Amino acid sequence: MHEASLAGGILKLVEDAARREAFRRVTVLRLEVGQLAGVELRALKFALEAIAPGTHLEGARLEFEEPAGQAWCMTCSQTVVLAARGMACTECGSYQLQPTGGTELRVIDMLVADE
């Protein structure tokens, strides 16, 4: 479960921002987790909620955006939508695909409070 270490990295990013920007807590944290990012969304949410108490994330609402996976098919030269890695091209059935989207894991933004 690498989501625990990902959650730790996200928390470090939030704590660094809190020191730099001098805010007291995060009220909303928005994350983008692409469908091809290799991240189990429920596990990431669980890990973030588990490490939040006593940090700037305590009580924060977590919101996730899940961009669809996309890949370039080297056989039929089409951009296709992929629900998961390892799937065949939906146009020609080839497995020669290069992911071009939906691989992201990033913090989009956070709403913070000073009180």
Binding-site members are 2, 73, 76, 89, 92
Rg (CA), the chain: 17
CA 86 to chain centre: 20
C-alpha–C-alpha distance, residues 56 and 67, integer Å? 27
Binding-site members for Zn(2+) are 73, 76, 89, 92
Contact 63, 31 (CB under 8 A): yes
For 13-63, the pLDDT digits (tens) are 999 999 999 999 999 999 999 999 999 999 999 999 999 999 999 999 999
- Angle at alpha carbon of residue 60, lines to 54 and 64, rounded to 5°: 130
Taking the model in full, what pTM does it have? Answer: 0.86
Binding-site members for Ni(2+) are 2
